């Protein structure tokens, strides 16, 4: 599954286009003056781009601009990114910040992959991931040139496109794919920014520190740091801050983590996460090693500007505090986070633009993207959900859908008649049927009864819920009925207002989510496991906290996962969330990132109040009705982007709502004694 696509880049339109101009612009791109370092013997600048920036905070206007270069030295290719002197966009971005981010001659032998991001809005950027699993902060190409950058690398180093993601380019990837997967599963290490040994010397364009071409052995360097000895020029705190920076780019609540970690890192001894390759127990990892031997004031650290948390134990000058206050204000106004702002829901007019004259969806990806960011208008759901759920295929025509609907209607009637025709005498001798029916009847009368659609005695829609669920339990007798299914069906019937169509939509939904209701609960357990891995990746201190409190089973998120937040939001918001999830636009498992987003939002409360399993469960249950959906979705999106391939590596293949593996798919572990 992790085969590397050995295609070269020429299949990529972007790349091909760049090749046309690439050769001419390569050495002189950007029209910048060559730097003095190019005069060194045997060193050739093969790529140079000005105005490549890093955003050390989530604020787009707080950026450090600099010059990106690829340098050919002998047979090795080196990358440098040097910030401009004295051009900070913000007074608070000190020379130290710049120093912190400076990339001095990183050899490509140390680089594992480059992830290309070419958003339609905003700047293109690239994330460079080292072979250690560490990542540099995104480099934003203000003047373009990302394509040329990749093309140039291709000319001078071994670069292949990842089979898993067309936007990931693997450098020097000769490792066993399995090994690579394992190492990418060493989650904590994957977060950070690694850098050359950070000196306190101000950055200077002309003195790349690694020009000998030898790659410093980062693992040994950091392992040493892990011990009590400190190296003057390898301040581990820098390292920790860089780790946090990547988070800080992302979201508001990320700042909680960061300031928290800064507090903890204050105690020094930031552990190396550079090399976990030989230690396959990520749980042993922690961001912070308890160590009391060094306590340095944080003023030395280039504190990122966005630390909003109370940091009573830190000393700030008055100016800094004022700046922080300003920032709070600015932030609330502008709220610049990575997750894109939500859009208004898709309306009929716009919907029609997605259809060709015969009713086919022209670009299903574009449609899914549109719905991902805005959802669907109420009146349009009936039509659009059929596609999102997979009842209709995107390339079907009006005529085909009409035909299928009529077929499916009669098919439903046939299925329904299977239990409708069971006589009283037969039912007497059919315990499993009676029990199943009883269970369903108990549940439908307590499903969403406060909604007018299901209100009142002898409500026909409630009866309809029962009929569909009972029919489903015959259609899929092995899975049968399980509590929670009525929660999934209720909004579908509410939207479809049509029994057979609701049934078939429910059927396709259960193709993905049926494992949630397996007798052994393995569907939920695999998701909770993936969730624990994601939290470990995206919020290691929170993971450690849960571990310490013996909460790693994540049962407190059971309800979230089992019925995809149905009980956490009102009906309208549940439907909005579901249609976003059903697009599977970024990931099939966005709901797990939603879990992480919510947990992270409340992380300081959870940790601060030292919640144990019981309190945590109570707290999570009581969040119901108090979760801001739009903000959570944005944060989930940001977390997904932040986690990148490492996030997806946390989620084993076949985890619901992915389609189950062939062969295991519909094995519901028949147990004659328990077929409810």
Partner 1 sequence: MPSRRRTLLKVIILGDSGVGKTSLMNQYVNKKFSNQYKATIGADFLTKEVQFEDRLFTLQIWDTAGQERFQSLGVAFYRGADCCVLVYDVNSMKSFENLNNWREEFLIQASPSDPENFPFVVLGNKVDIDGGNSRVVSEKKARAWCASKGNIPYFETSAKEGTNVEEAFQCIAKNALKSGEEEEIYLPDTLDVGTSSQPRTGGCEC
* Interface residues toward partner 1, by CB under 8 A: 435, 438-439, 442-443, 446-447, 449-450, 482-484, 486-487, 517-521, 525, 553, 555, 558-559, 562-563, 567, 613-614, 617-618, 621, 674, 676
CB of 622 to partner 1, least distance (A): 9
Q: Which residues contact 419 (CB under 8 A, 6 or more apart)?
A: 433, 437, 470, 471, 474
CB of 466 to partner 1, least distance (A): 14
Question: What letter would DSSP give residue 659?
Answer: P
CB of 534 to partner 1, least distance (A): 20
Q: Which of 592, 595, 597 is nearest to 651 (CA)?
A: 592
Q: Do 343 and 373 touch, CB atoms closer than 8 A? A: yes
Q: Do 255 and 248 touch, CB atoms closer than 8 A? A: yes
Q: Which is nearer to partner 1, 126 or 524 (CB)?
A: 524
Residue in the structure block whose two tokens are 């496109």: 161
Q: How many CA atoms lie within 13 A of 153 on its CB side?
A: 29
CB of 461 to partner 1, least distance (A): 15
Q: Which is nearer to partner 1, 262 or 510 (CB)?
A: 510
| CA distance to 184, 188, 246, 404, 601, per residue, from 134 (Å) | 10, 9, 11, 51, 25
| Three-state SS at 524 | helix
CB of 581 to partner 1, least distance (A): 18
Q: Which is nearer to partner 1, 249 or 468 (CB)?
A: 468
Q: Which is nearer to partner 1, 268 or 443 (CB)?
A: 443
Q: Which is nearer to partner 1, 84 or 613 (CB)?
A: 613
Q: Which is nearer to partner 1, 45 or 439 (CB)?
A: 439
Q: Encode 127-149 in three state secondary structure.
A: EEEECCCCECCCEEECCCCHHHH
Q: Which is nearer to partner 1, 114 or 620 (CB)?
A: 620
Q: Which is nearer to partner 1, 159 or 563 (CB)?
A: 563
| Three-state SS at 600 | helix
CB of 521 to partner 1, least distance (A): 5
CB of 551 to partner 1, least distance (A): 9
Q: Which is nearer to partner 1, 272 or 486 (CB)?
A: 486
The H or E element spanning position 237 is: helix 236-248
Q: Cβ atoms within 10 A of the Cβ of 95, count?
A: 15
CB of 474 to partner 1, least distance (A): 18
| Three-state SS at 511 | helix
Tell me the C-alpha distance between 572 and 270, whole Å.
45
Question: What letter would DSSP give residue 355?
Answer: B
User: In 77-134, which ranges are continuous DSSP H helix?
Assistant: 95-101
Q: Which of 649, 650, 668, 593 is nearest to 177 (CA)?
A: 649
| Three-state SS at 76 | strand
Q: Name the CA dihedral angle for 228, 229, 233, 238, rounded to a multiple of 10 degrees.
A: 0
Q: Which is nearer to partner 1, 602 or 640 (CB)?
A: 602
CB of 427 to partner 1, least distance (A): 14
Q: Which is nearer to partner 1, 409 or 449 (CB)?
A: 449
Q: Which of 520, 562, 527 is nearest to 656 (CA)?
A: 527
CB of 442 to partner 1, least distance (A): 4
CB of 556 to partner 1, least distance (A): 8
Q: Which is nearer to partner 1, 232 or 446 (CB)?
A: 446
CB of 612 to partner 1, least distance (A): 10
Q: Which is nearer to partner 1, 314 or 443 (CB)?
A: 443
Long-range Cβ contacts of 568-577 (<8 Å, 24+ apart): 568/623, 568/624, 568/625, 568/627, 569/625, 569/627, 569/629, 570/625, 571/448, 571/451, 571/491, 571/494, 573/629, 574/491, 575/375, 575/381, 575/491, 575/495, 576/345, 576/375, 576/629, 577/629, 577/633
Tell me the C-alpha distance between 640 and 335, whole Å.
19
Tell me the C-alpha distance between 473 and 443, whole Å.
14
CB of 343 to partner 1, least distance (A): 31
Q: Which is nearer to partner 1, 34 or 438 (CB)?
A: 438
Q: Which is nearer to partner 1, 89 or 553 (CB)?
A: 553
| CA distance to 241, 409, 420, per residue, from 414 (Å) | 64, 9, 10
Tell me the C-alpha distance between 353 and 356, whole Å.
8
Tell me the C-alpha distance between 98 and 82, whole Å.
8
CB of 463 to partner 1, least distance (A): 17
Retrieve residue 285's tokens.
């990892």
Q: Do 127 and 114 touch, CB atoms closer than 8 A? A: yes
Retrieve residue 362's tokens.
């022209």
CB of 583 to partner 1, least distance (A): 25
333 alpha carbon, distance to own chain's centre: 25
């Amino acid at each position: 599954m992790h085969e590397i696509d050995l295609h070269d880049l020429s299949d990529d339109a972007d790349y091909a286009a760049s090749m046309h101009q690439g050769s001419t612009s390569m050495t002189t791109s950007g029209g910048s003056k060559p730097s003095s370092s190019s005069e060194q013997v045997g060193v050739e600048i093969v790529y140079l781009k000005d105005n490549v920036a890093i955003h050390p905070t989530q604020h787009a206007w707080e950026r450090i601009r600099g010059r990106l270069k690829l340098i050919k030295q002998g047979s090795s290719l080196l990358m440098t990114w040097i910030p401009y002197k004295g051009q900070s966009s913000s007074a608070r971005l000190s020379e130290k910040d710049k120093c912190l981010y400076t990339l001095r001659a990183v050899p490509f032998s140390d680089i594992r992959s480059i992830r290309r991001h070419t958003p339609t809005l905003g700047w293109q950027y690239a994330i460079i991931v080292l072979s250690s699993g560490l990542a540099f902060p995104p480099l934003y190409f203000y003047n373009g040139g990302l394509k040329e950058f990749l093309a140039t690398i291709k000319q001078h180093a071994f670069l292949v496109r990842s089979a898993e993601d067309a936007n990931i380019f693997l450098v020097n990837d000769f490792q066993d794919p399995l090994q690579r997967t394992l190492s990418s599963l060493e989650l904590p290490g994957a977060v950070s920014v690694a850098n050359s040994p950070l000196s306190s010397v101000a950055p200077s364009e002309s003195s790349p520190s690694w020009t000998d071409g030898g790659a410093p052995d980062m693992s040994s360097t950091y392992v040493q740091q892990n011990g009590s000895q400190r190296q003057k020029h390898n301040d581990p705190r820098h390292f920790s801050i860089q780790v946090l920076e990547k988070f800080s780019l992302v979201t508001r609540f990320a700042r909680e983590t960061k300031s928290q970690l800064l507090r903890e890192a204050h105690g020094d001894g930031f552990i190396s996460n550079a090399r976990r390759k030989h230690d396959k127990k990520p749980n042993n990892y922690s961001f912070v090693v308890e160590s009391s031997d060094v306590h340095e004031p944080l003023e030395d650290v280039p504190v990122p500007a966005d630390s909003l948390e109370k940091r009573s134990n830190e000393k700030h000058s008055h100016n800094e505090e004022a700046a922080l206050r300003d920032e709070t204000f600015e932030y609330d106004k502008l709220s610049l986070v990575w997750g894109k702002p939500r859009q208004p829901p898709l309306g009929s007019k716009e919907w029609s633009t997605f259809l060709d004259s015969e009713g086919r969806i022209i670009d299903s990806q574009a449609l899914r993207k549109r719905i991902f960011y805005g959802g669907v208008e109420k009146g349009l759901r009936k039509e659009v959900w059929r596609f999102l759920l997979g009842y209709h295929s995107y390339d079907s025509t009006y005529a085909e859908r009409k035909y299928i609907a009529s077929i499916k209607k009669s098919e439903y009637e046939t299925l329904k008649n299977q239990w409708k025709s069971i006589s009283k005498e037969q039912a007497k001798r059919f315990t499993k049927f009676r029990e199943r029916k009883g269970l369903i009847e108990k549940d439908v009368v307590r499903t969403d009864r406060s909604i007018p659609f299901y209100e009142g005695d002898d409500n026909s829609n409630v009866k309809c819920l029962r009929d569909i669920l009972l029919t489903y339990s015959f259609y899929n007798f092995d899975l049968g009925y399980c509590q929670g299914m009525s929660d999934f069906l209720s909004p579908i019937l509410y939207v479809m207002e049509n029994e057979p169509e609701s049934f078939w939509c429910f059927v396709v939904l259960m193709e993905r989510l049926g494992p949630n209701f397996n007798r052994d609960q393995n569907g939920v357990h695999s998701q909770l496991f993936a969730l624990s891995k994601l939290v470990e990746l995206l919020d290691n201190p929170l993971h450690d906290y849960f571990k310490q409190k013996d909460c790693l089973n994540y049962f407190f998120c059971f309800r979230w996962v089992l019925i995809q937040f149905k009980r956490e939001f009102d009906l309208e918001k549940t439907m909005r969330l579901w249609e976003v999830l059903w697009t599977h636009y970024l990931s099939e498992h966005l709901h797990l990132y939603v879990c992480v987003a919510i947990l992270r939002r409340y992380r300081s409360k959870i940790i601060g109040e030292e919640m144990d399993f019981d309190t945590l469960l109570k707290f999570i249950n009581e969040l119901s009705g108090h979760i801001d959906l739009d903000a959570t979705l944005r944060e989930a999106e940001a977390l997904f982007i932040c986690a990148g391939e490492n996030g997806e590596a946390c989620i084993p293949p076949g985890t619901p709502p992915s389609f189950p593996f062939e062969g295991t798919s519909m094995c519901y572990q028949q147990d004659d004694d328990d077929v409810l």
